[in-house]
Amino acid sequence: MVKEDLISLIEPVLTDLGIDLIDVQYVPRRNRSILRVFADEIGGIGLDRCAQASRAISDILDRKDAIPGSYVLEVSSPGIDRPLKTKQDFARHVSRWIKVLYSENDQVREIAGRIVTVGAEELELSPEADENLIIPFALIRMAKVQIDFKQS
């Protein structure tokens, strides 16, 4: 089964649960294949929600006989160090501290701040010592969530 086929089966199931599908990795093996599903939701996905997603995904895969033979299904969050790529990624992390590399006047700049808002075309960031900054998504080269040790 190709990745796109798995996504077409899994994504609607997760959407019904209010969970976003981030990625799917399928590792076919002779004895027991591995299917890794990375999912997230606003505020981060916890263990109980991963278990709920796992049961729902397993049910549809078994009903459709989508994976031949036995397989291991792993459902987890994509991890804190995964780069933020889509508007949905940024929206899931509103009020979180992030580091952004972006282009400005033919230079690459780096800034860290808290996500204030996520618009259709830009991100509003609140750096610790400066005024809020609006960064168009088109200028963002990379962004990652940072652990905020100051937050209690």
Mean pLDDT score, 92-114: 93
Across the chain, what does the average pLDDT equal? 92
End residue of a domain, out of 20, 45, 76: 76
- Looking at 118-122, 128-132, 142-146, which range is the least confident one? 128-132
151 in a domain, yes or no? Answer: no
- Provide the pLDDT confidence category of residue 20 given band limits of 50, 70 and 90: very high
CA dist 27 and 74 (Å) reads 11
Location of structure tokens 């960031």: 125
Q: DSSP string covering 133-145, please?
A: EEEEGGGEEEEEE
71 and 13 in a single domain? The answer is yes
At 59, list the tokens.
């049910």
Q: Is the pLDDT of residue 152 over 60?
A: no
Give the model confidence (pLDDT) of 30-56 as tens digits: 899 999 999 999 888 999 999 999 999
17 in the same domain as 66? yes
- On whether both 67 and 111 belong to a single domain, the answer is no
Nearest 5 degrees, angle CA 29-CA 5-CA 86?
105
Amino acid 43: pLDDT: 80
DSSP letter assigned to residue 84: P
**Looking at residue 151, what is its pLDDT?**
58
Question: Which residue range forms the structural domain that includes residue 123?
Answer: 87-145
pTM of model > 0.85: no
Residue 133 lies in a domain: yes
Considering only residues 3 and 116, tell me which one the structure prediction assigns the higher pLDDT: 116
pLDDT score of 79: 84
